[in-house]
């Protein structure tokens, strides 16, 4: 086994033009005006024990499932890897160019600036595959505390990062991969400079501490965790997504980088590692799928009542956002929250079929085994409690990977839908699928783990 364990690593810079629309914040005004730090595509290829896999992370906010599928297909054509052996993730920075997700969801083409970005992603993946050489691998965990639960005051957090160290055959560091659950949103909608946010600063710190290594950030169970520079999400506070200065963002990143680098430096590596990859799909219905037209009609009546609008009005999506701002201005905060929640429930379920491409979707669950590390890749933003369920079943080296192979909005734990004032929580108001979806996907992942083990 020692003679067949191999790895390959690559990093390719993305060079989007200035002047492009940026992605992640509805409150942002203006287009990209500068570059704070490089955007990249980073890839790690591993083979050992008869298995192989390729992990690719892109410094963008989101991509559609169809876009991820096309990237995996193109990578497979160049490498011979099967789709189940390739995970394409987004680090979820909100300071990167728009990737054309909405036009793709509507059956159109992404803007002209997107294909060159995706070409670079494919090149990063192929380069990692082609650079494969004998390698050593080790793993550990690093304690981290840069997050704050934005759903509940004092709510759960991802307490640590799962860390992988990959060495060349001579023992010199080659890659450091870490999985952690916290939004890369220290920079806010007021920022108009491209940036990988705090993971970019963390990468710099890790690579300075371990010369010769490439740092890869993998987004964990983060959906209800923001950097501690932010507070609770509140429907009653407009423009809450104002960020911190770049220097404060960088300080957060360096804090992460120091913790991960210290962990990586302490990890011993071995040549005889084993990797495996598998995937399956789970059919999940959207909210109200059984009688969707009647379901939407009822939600629409409640939303119109919430804004004191006539029941024969039929606003467009953009008009709903304009009207909710106009019709709730000056009202007490508690009343604003309740009224907006009724509008947002309608908008959630009205747009669900766009993301699911119908009233139900076959959602992929992908499991990657890397030595003792177990990763569950899901094309959703996963809350901490869902990630905990996976970790409880797989150990401290188990982690969910969010926004893996595309994006279908949020995945709250089933209990989140039953909490007091659950209808006011952003994660519930942006969940495409029924409350049981998280349980079904984790169960599918555990089934794959049993097969791979």
pLDDT for the residue numbered 429: 97
pLDDT for the residue numbered 60: 98
pLDDT for the residue numbered 231: 82
pLDDT for the residue numbered 2: 40
Q: Which two tokens stand for residue 1?
A: 């086994």
Q: Which two tokens stand for residue 64?
A: 């559609």
Whether residue 328 is found in the same domain as residue 377? no
- Which residues of the chain carry a pLDDT beneath 50? 1-3
Domain count within the chain: 2
pLDDT for the residue numbered 453: 87
In a domain, 59, yes or no: yes
In a domain, 1, yes or no: no
pTM over 0.95: yes
Which is it for the CA torsion 177, 181, 186, 191, positive or negative? positive
Q: Give the domain extent around 446.
A: 6-280+361-452
pLDDT in tens, 94-150: 999 999 999 999 999 999 999 999 999 999 999 999 999 999 999 999 999 899 999
Interstrand relation of 398-401 and 22-23 (parallel, antiparallel or unpaired):
unpaired
pLDDT for the residue numbered 3: 46
Whether residue 24 is found in the same domain as residue 154? yes
Q: In whole angstroms, how large is the CA radius of gyration of the chain?
A: 21
Whether residue 237 is found in the same domain as residue 373? yes
- Report how far residue 313's alpha carbon sits from residue 449's, in angstroms, rounded to the nearest whole number: 50
Whether residue 251 is found in the same domain as residue 118? yes
In a domain, 15, yes or no: yes
Whether residue 273 is found in the same domain as residue 307? no
pLDDT for the residue numbered 1: 35
Whether residue 274 is found in the same domain as residue 302? no
Among residues 354, 377, 399, the one where a domain terminates is 354
Inter-residue contact 406 to 67 (CB < 8 Å): yes
Whether residue 107 is found in the same domain as residue 129? yes
- Report how far residue 223's alpha carbon sits from residue 31's, in angstroms, rounded to the nearest whole number: 26
Whether residue 435 is found in the same domain as residue 319? no
Q: Which two tokens stand for residue 106?
A: 């509507």
Give 244's contacts (C-beta < 8 A, 6+ positions apart): 186, 187, 188, 227, 229
Report how far Cα 342 is from the mean position of its chain's Cα atoms: 26
């Amino acid at each position: 086994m020692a003679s067949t364990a191999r790895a390959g690593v690559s990093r390719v810079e993305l060079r989007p033009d200035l002047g492009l629309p940026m992605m992640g914040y509805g409150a942002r005004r203006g287009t990209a005006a500068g570059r704070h730090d490089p955007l990249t595509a980073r890839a790690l290829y591993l083979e050992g024990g008869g298995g192989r896999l390729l992990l690719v992370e892109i410094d963008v906010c989101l991509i559609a499932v169809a876009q991820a599928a096309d990237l995996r297909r193109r990578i497979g054509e160049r490498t011979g890897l099967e789709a189940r052996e390739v995970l394409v993730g987004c680090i979820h920075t909100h300071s990167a160019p728009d990737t054309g997700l909405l036009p793709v969801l509507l059956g159109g083409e992404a803007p002209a600036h997107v294909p060159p970005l995706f070409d670079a992603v494919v090149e990063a993946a192929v380069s990692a595959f082609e650079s494969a050489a004998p390698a050593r691998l080790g793993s550990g965990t690093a304690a981290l505390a840069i997050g704050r639960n934005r759903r509940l005051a004092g709510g759960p957090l991802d307490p640590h990062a799962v860390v992988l160290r990959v060495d060349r055959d001579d023992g010199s560091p080659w890659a450091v991969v870490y999985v952690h659950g916290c939004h890369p949103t220290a920079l806010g909608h007021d920022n108009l400079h491209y940036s990988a946010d705090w993971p970019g600063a963390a990468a710099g710190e890790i690579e300075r501490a371990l010369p010769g290594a490439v740092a890869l950030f993998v987004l964990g169970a983060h959906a209800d965790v923001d950097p501690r520079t932010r507070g609770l999400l509140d429907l009653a506070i407009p423009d809450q997504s104002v960020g911190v200065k770049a220097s404060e963002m960088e300080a957060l990143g360096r804090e992460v980088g120091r913790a991960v680098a210290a962990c990586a430096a302490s990890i011993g590596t071995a040549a005889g590692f084993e990797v495996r990859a598998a995937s399956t799909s789970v059919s999940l219905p959207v909210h109200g799928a059984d009688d969707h037209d009647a379901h939407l009609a009822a939600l629409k009546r409640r939303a119109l009542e919430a804004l004191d609008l006539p029941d024969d009005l039929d606003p467009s999506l953009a008009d709903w956002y304009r009207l909710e701002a106009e019709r709730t201005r000056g009202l007490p905060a508690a009343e604003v929250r309740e009224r907006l929640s009724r509008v947002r429930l309608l908008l959630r379920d009205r747009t669900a079929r766009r993301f699911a491409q119908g009233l139900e979707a076959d959602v992929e669950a992908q499991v990657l085994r890397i030595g003792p590390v177990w990763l569950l890749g899901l094309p959703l933003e996963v809350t901490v409690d869902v990630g905990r369920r996976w970790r409880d079943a797989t150990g401290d080296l188990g982690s969910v990977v969010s926004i893996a192979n595309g994006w279908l909005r949020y995945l709250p734990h089933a209990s989140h839908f039953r909490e007091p004032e659950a209808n006011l929580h952003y994660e519930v108001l942006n969940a495409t699928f029924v409350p049981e979806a998280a349980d079904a996907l984790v169960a599918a992942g555990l089934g794959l783990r049993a097969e791979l083990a």
